[in-house]
Chains A and B, each alone.
Chain A
Amino acid sequence: QVKLQQSGAELVKPGASVKLSCKTSGYTFSTSYMSWFKQIPGQSIEWIGMIYAGDGGTGYNQKFKGKATLTVDTSSSTAYMDLSSLTTEDSAVYFCARSITTWHYFDYWGQGVMVTVSS
């Protein structure tokens, strides 16, 4: 079955960077898209960006350009998101989610990872 397993919770200092992972199984990673999302508890969901695992092509929400960098490792079927120059406003739950068509609805999600930015 399809699984997206995200890395564990992170506590990071302001100004630092963090790299989140999303390890997949149960489907053909290289022919799918992986998106990342931000959700502050109690608030709605924001799309950060998307990567096509086949060629590493990316698209970003303008709001997150320069903040997030998406990559994949097709040998391990894992997607990554680097978040840089972290501030307290980056404290949130981050999800990865798959889409397999260009209609871009998200049929499988990771469990989410809480990132807390605090000194």
Chain B
Amino acid sequence: DIVLTQSPALAVSLGQRATISCRASQSVSISRYNLMHWYQQKPGQQPKLLIYRASNLASGIPARFSGSGSGTDFTLTINPVQADDIATYYCQQSRESPPTFGAGTKLELK
């Protein structure tokens, strides 16, 4: 299985930029398609899709969220961070079955 590695936590101030990284154990790109996706999860809630195929904003997601990367290294950026963004963020790959998730990065207030 493809292993996705995320930092456990990130402390950020409101109004600042947050950069969350995800590294895959092997490439998750096929041709021009980067099969990495990002989710936000708040306690007691289901995950919410933020970014699909590395850089595409999901429907209804604010433009302060963006994604980038290719191959094995991917980044989710939140700029500026708002109070409502305090949550855990997961990356997920769909290059190979089974789809796998990172361990999550908990975004905290500094």
Tell me the A residues contacting B by CB distance below 8 Å: 35, 44-47, 59, 61-63, 95, 97, 103-112
Contact = CB atoms under 8 A, between A and B. Distances in A.
- B: interface residue count bin: 20 to 34
Interface string B90-110: 101010011111111000000
Contacts of A61: 97-98
5 contacts: A45-B101, A61-B98, A103-B52, A107-B49, A107-B52
Contact of A105 (B52, B59, B98, B104): B52
Contact of A59 (B52, B97, B100, B102): B97
A112 B41 CA distance: 12
Contacts of B99: 35, 47, 104
Contacts of A47: 98-101
Interface of B is mostly: loop
Contacts, number: 54
Interface in B29-70: 33, 35, 37, 39, 45-49, 52-53, 58-59
Contacts of B102: 44
Given A44-B102, A45-B101, A47-B100, A105 B94 contact: yes
B46 A105 contact: no
Contacts of A110: 46
Contact of B90 (A45, A95, A97): A45
A109 B92 CA distance: 15
A45 B53 CA distance: 19
B35 A106 contact: no
Interface string B1-45: 000000000000000000000000000000001010101000001
